[in-house]
Amino acid sequence: MPTISLTQSLVISLIQCVLVVVFIFVVVPLTVFAERKVLGYLQQRLGSTRIAGHLGGLTGLLNRGMWKLGKVPVLSYWRGLPGLVGDVMKMLLKEDILPTKADKFVFWIAPALSFVASVVVFATICFVPGTFFTFPTWVPFLGGLPVSGGIADVNVGLLWILGMATVGVYGIVLAGWASNSKYPLLGGLRSAAQMVSYEVPLTLSLLAPVLISGSLKFSEMSQAMAVGVPLWAIIPQVIGFLIYLTCGFAETNRVPFDMPEAENELVAGFHTEYSGMKFGFFYLAEYVNMTVVSAMAAGFFLGGSWLLPFGLQGVVNPYLASLPSWLVTLLCEPHAAFFAIKIVFLLFVFIWVRGTIPRYRYDQIMAVAWKYLIPLTLVNLVLAAAVRLAM
C-alpha cells in the first residue's frame, strides 16, 4: 500500500465528505418525491399520479407535459416532478417571517442545529468495509490511493451516532420555546418527552448487536452481524430490528408517532411559526434522520453491505463457494450497492406506514414505550447475551 502524505489524507477525507453530502442530497429529494408518488397511489391523491384538472399558465403546461411523459414506459414514474420543483422553490423564495416577540437568536439557530446534527451522524456510518474504490494511477496527486467506505469508521462509532442524533431534539425544543407561541411550545415539549421515552428502548435494542459482535465500530458490527454469527442469533436480531424500527419512527417524528407536529391538534407543532428556508431545514432534517435510521437498521440488522439479512449471509456462504468466481464475488462479498438498496427499501417502509396507519393518542404513545418496548428490549438483551455465551 502506497504511503499517504498528510495533504493527500486531507484531500481524500474531503472527497469522502463530498461523496456523503452528495448521497444525502440525492436520496432526500428523491425520498420526498417518492413519498408524494407512493401516497398518491395509496390514497388516490391527484397531482403526483394523474393530471390535476385543466390548469393554465406554467402549471398547466408542466402538468400536461408530465401527463404525456407518463404514457412512456419507465418514464411514467417521473410524472408529478413539477410538484417537487415547486416545493423546493417555495422553500427558497417564500417570505421569511420572524414573530415579533420571538427570541431571535434561538429562533434562528434552532433549525440549523437540527439539520447539522442529522448530517454529521453520517461521519461514522460505513457504507462498505475496507476500500470503497481506488483512484486510477493516471489521476494526478491521488493516483493509486484508496478511498475507504466511511469518513471516520472510529472505534466508538455507535456512541457518536447516538450522541449526535440526540442533539437534534434540542433544535426542536428550542424552536418551540423561541417561537413564543402556545402550539409550538406544546409541540416542543411533546417532542422532548417522546425522545426521552423512545431513546431508552432504541438504545437497548442496539445493545443486542453490540453484545453479539463485541464492538462499537460500525464496520465491525455490520460484518459480525452479517457473517460472524450462528443461525440461532436470528431470534434476537429480528426482535431487535422490529423494536428499533418502531423506535426509529418515534425518533424521527413520523406517522403514527408525529405528535410534536400533529396538525389537527397543534397546527404544525414546533415549526408552526417558521417559514422559508428555516422551515426547510426542519423539513430536510426529518428526511435525513429517516435516512440515518434506515442506514443503522440496514447496517446492524439487515446485513449491511452484504446481500442477506439477519446473519444469514454467513450461513449460506459455504454453500455458495462452489459457484463461479464472479457469482461468489457478487453474492458473498460486501458491496455498497446492497447497503444503498436496503436504505431505499426502509425509506419506502417509512412512507408505506405513513399512508396506512393512523396517529395514536399521546398517552398511548408514551405507554407503548414504557410498558411494552422497554421490557421487551430487556428480554431481547438477555437472549443476545445467551447467544454471545453460546458463541
pLDDT tens for each residue of 156-170: 889 999 888 888 888
CA atoms within 13 A of residue 232's CA, in its CB half-sphere = 9
Is 350 in contact with 287 (CB distance < 8 Å)?
A: no
Identify the DSSP state of 47: S
Q: Would you give the DSSP letter of residue 226?
A: H
Answer yes or no: is pLDDT of 53 > 60: no
Identity (one letter) of the amino acid at 242? Answer: L
Burial 159-171 (b: 16+ CB within 10 A, else e): ebbbebbeebbbb
What secondary structure does DSSP assign to 159-189, as a single string?
Answer: HHHHHHHHHHHHHHHHHHHHTT-HHHHHHHH
> Residue 60: pLDDT band by 50, 70, 90 thresholds?
low
Percent of the chain surpassing pLDDT 70? 92
% of the chain surpassing 90 pLDDT = 32
pLDDT at residue 52 greater than cutoff 70 = no
Q: What is the pLDDT of residue 49?
A: 60
DSSP code of residue 360: P
The owner of cell 452481524 is: 225
CA distances to 38, 88, 179, 258, 297 from 30, rounded to whole Å, are 12, 12, 31, 21, 20
Instruction: State residue 138's pLDDT score.
Output: 86
pTM of the entire structure? 0.91
Q: Is 367 exposed, middle or buried (0-12, 13-18, 19+ CB in 10 A)?
A: middle
pLDDT tens per residue, range 280-339: 888 888 899 999 999 999 999 999 999 999 989 999 998 888 888 888 888 999 999 999
How much is the pLDDT for 302?
Answer: 93
Give residue-wise pLDDT tens across range 169-223: 888 888 888 888 888 888 877 888 888 889 899 999 999 999 999 899 999 999 9
Written as nine digits, the cell of 122 is: 453520517
Reply yes or no on whether the pLDDT at 48 is more than 80: no
For 241-246, what is the mean pLDDT? Answer: 95
The pLDDT assigned to 2 comes to: 64
pLDDT digits (tens, 9 = 90+) for 109-121: 888 888 999 999 9
Alpha carbon 241 to its chain centroid, in Å, reads 15
Residue 388 pLDDT > 80, yes or no? yes
**Each residue of 329-370: pLDDT tens digit?**
889 999 999 999 999 999 999 999 988 888 888 888 888 888
Would you state the pLDDT for residue 185? 80
pLDDT in tens, 65-91: 776 766 777 777 777 777 777 778 878
How many whole angstroms separate alpha carbon 70 and alpha carbon 123?
39
Which cell is 359 given? 396517529
d(CA 345, CA 230): 26
In terms of Cα–Cα distance, which of 51, 49, 73 is closest to 62? 51
Judge whether residue 385 has pLDDT over 70. yes
